[in-house]
Amino acid sequence: MLIKRIIKSGFINFKRNGLISWASVIITTITLSVIVSIILLQAVVISSLTQIKDKVDVTIYFNVGASEDKIMALKSGIESLPEVESVSYTSAGDALDIFRARHEKDYPTIQALDEIGTNPLGGYLNIKAKEVSQYETIANFLKSDSTISTGAASIIDKVNYYQNKLVIDRLNAIIAGGQRIGFLVTLILIIISIIITFNTIRLKIFFSKEEIGVMRLVGASKMRVRGPFMIEGAIYGIVATAVTLLLFLPVTIWLGHNMTDFLGINLYHYYFSHLYTIFIVVLLSGVFLGMVSSLLAVRRYLNK
């Protein structure tokens, strides 16, 4: 019965306070909007970094006439490395077809190929690592004794890792720096939002300090005093969650229709495909923030 009375009192307080309650809801909505914005921003950052990573690779070019058996043996060895995500092989014939298609309007080049009469190109392996920082490990494997023992050293013409090393190192530094800055900005924004929400709810409870004093004088327990305010704080979080998710509906629709090419991700599709997860995160954050802020604010008057 006590819990039922506490819940009922929480709803009564929410209705009775009217404008102050809705002001707290608005502030909580702003806090939750920051959290949703951070989730969407992280999705954009992760998508951008993934696209950048996909453009980075290491290519092993083989000598003309290199043995297919030795190439396949090297390919198997590379695929066994835990750092490797994928390895694709392009044969000499396929390499020639790709070269012809790329230079189909370059008539002197095509004519020179026809006059040669033989394929001047060798095959190549294209290697993608799981992380940009792991390309050096793969390059070191290619120089190791295990690679030499497969006879690969005699068929490799060149490995472009060392030509791309500067770009790969810079990209790795940018990714690491971006992740650190993103975490720091996220932490600062969340802390600021929590402080604003806490101070707003504390101000609201300040106006109820006489009511709290009367309840304590008539012998109400601490749970009976703080309970309604915590329920009221939870209501702030629930209502703010609904408002926040509805606000981001037109925002993500607009971003999805107009900013997909710029952002590299359709935020409308992302928002709806992850709506359940976002809802849970926002709801728990709102209820937790409202209840804890109310608890801390009421405690000040209970300890007097």
Which of 51-65, 124-138, 174-188, 282-296 has the lowest average pLDDT? Answer: 174-188
Question: What's the pLDDT score for residue 288?
Answer: 86
Average pLDDT value for the chain: 78
Strands 124-129 and 156-159: unpaired
Sign of the alpha-carbon dihedral angle for 18, 21, 26, 32: negative
Helix (H, G, I), strand (E, B) or coil at 288: helix
Q: Higher pLDDT residue, 7 or 128?
A: 128
pLDDT of residue 75: 86
Give the count of beta carbons closer than 10 Å to the beta carbon of residue 14.
Answer: 22
Cα distances from 249 to residues 187, 209, 240, 269, 270, in angstroms, run 25, 39, 14, 11, 12
Q: Which residues, 6 or more positions from 40, have their beta carbon under 8 angstroms from its beta carbon? A: 248, 252, 267, 270, 271
Which pair of tokens denotes residue 160?
């472009």
Q: What percent of the chain stands above pLDDT 70?
A: 80
* pLDDT per position as a tens digit, 26-63: 888 888 888 888 888 888 877 877 777 777 778 888 88
Predicted confidence band of residue 152 (pLDDT cuts 50, 70, 90): low
pLDDT of residue 176: 72
The listed range with the strongest mean pLDDT (16-25, 41-50, 247-256, 289-298) is 247-256
Q: Is the pLDDT of residue 249 over 80?
A: yes
Residue 217 has pLDDT above 70, yes or no: no
Please check whether residue 134 is in contact with residue 58, taking contact to mean a CB–CB distance below 8 angstroms.
no
| Strand order across the 58-62 sheet | 84-90, 124-129, 58-62, 156-159
According to the per-residue pLDDT averaged within each range, which of 39-43, 125-129, 198-202, 238-242 is highest? Answer: 238-242
Domains of the chain, first to last: 2-52+172-302 (no CATH), 64-154 (3.30.70)
The model's pTM is: 0.66
Q: What is the per-residue pLDDT across 263-296, written as a single tens digit (0 to 9) for each?
A: 778 888 999 999 999 999 999 988 888 888 777 7
Residue 214: is its pLDDT beyond 70?
no
**Does residue 225 contact residue 300 with C-beta atoms inside 8 Å?**
no
Residue 242 pLDDT grade (very low, low, confident, very high; cuts 50, 70, 90): very high
